[in-house]
Amino acid sequence: MLLIVSLFLLIDIALSEIVPGAYDNASGVATVLSAAEQLEREPPANLDIWVVLTGSEESHCEGMRSFVKAHRDMDPATTLIVNVDQTGYGTVHYLVTEGALISYPMDAELVELCQALAASDPRYAAHPARTSLQTDALPALIRGRRAISLTGLADGLPAGTYHTHDDVPENVDGEAMTRATDFTVALVRLIDRGAGRSAAPSPPPPDAIVARPEA
């Protein structure tokens, strides 16, 4: 079954025409760069942030697969991957699972942080989502890395221009990208705060009090 599905996907890729790709995924690239600019002005205290623009997500995530393969030494315990995908429409959605035949759960801690952000600030109007497709988080999840994907949807669906010739900059929602940028920065801040707590030394135990009977 996996081979049959893969065959149809490869045929679809081979026969599909090239589209402008403003929503998918130039908007995601712009969101990442804007978030990186904000974080550079006020760097997190406990994180080493990398900006990775992988490319080839439509070709079975070849770019991300190559990146993860080339960085096998990434410590899964201390490396978190936040994938930003097509943010120029709707509101922020954080994926909780993804995958066609096998549904892979996103990192539980990252999902909880996104839930906390959504509950604390209604401006984001953020919601959880599931997809039977794949994003660049999937190659990382398959290899045991901790990852999550952020995307822009409305009622759980992508923009009507998705994968069409109408996917041009004029049809991208700038306010949606701003919300996604702010959400991404806020998520990184929460991750940084948690990393700081984990790195803080434990307080010494209180001195033991020993009661000695009087002679």
Give the pLDDT confidence score for residue 211 in this predicted structure. Answer: 43
Beta strand spans in the chain (E): 80-85, 91-98, 104-105, 127-131, 146-153
What is the amino acid identity at position 59? S
What is the token pair recorded at 197? 């707590």
In this structure, how many other beta carbons lie within 10 angstroms of the beta carbon of residue 142?
A: 16
pLDDT exceeds 50 at position 212? no
More confident residue, 146 or 199: 146
Tens of pLDDT, residues 132-145: 889 999 999 999 99
pLDDT exceeds 70 at position 215? no
Spatial separation of the C-alpha atoms in residues 86 and 183, rounded to whole Å: 14
Pairing of strands 91-98, 146-153: antiparallel
Tens of pLDDT, residues 24-42: 989 999 999 999 999 999 9
What is the token pair recorded at 100? 């066609």
Residue 15, SS3 per DSSP: helix
More confident residue, 9 or 137: 137
More confident residue, 5 or 38: 38
Mean pLDDT of the chain: 87
pTM value > 0.75: yes
pLDDT exceeds 90 at position 210? no
Predicted confidence band of residue 202 (pLDDT cuts 50, 70, 90):
low
The domains of the chain, with CATH numbers, are 17-197 (3.40.630.10)
pLDDT exceeds 70 at position 12? no
Residue 91, SS3 per DSSP: strand
Pairing of strands 91-98, 104-105: antiparallel
Spatial separation of the C-alpha atoms in residues 127 and 90, rounded to whole Å: 11
Give the pLDDT confidence score for residue 51 in this predicted structure. Answer: 96
- The crossing angle, in degrees rounded to 10, of helices 174-199 and 108-120 is 120
More confident residue, 4 or 114: 114
Q: Which of 103, 90, 79, 94 is nearest to 177 (CA)?
A: 90
Tens of pLDDT, residues 71-94: 999 998 899 999 999 999 999 999
Spatial separation of the C-alpha atoms in residues 215 and 212, rounded to whole Å: 9
Give the pLDDT confidence score for residue 171 in this predicted structure. Answer: 95
- Tokens 């901790």 appear where? 146
pLDDT exceeds 50 at position 117? yes
Predicted confidence band of residue 19 (pLDDT cuts 50, 70, 90):
confident
In this structure, how many other beta carbons lie within 10 angstroms of the beta carbon of residue 178?
A: 13
CA distances from 134 to 61, 138, 151, 198, 205 (A): 8, 6, 12, 32, 48
In this structure, how many other beta carbons lie within 10 angstroms of the beta carbon of residue 128?
A: 15
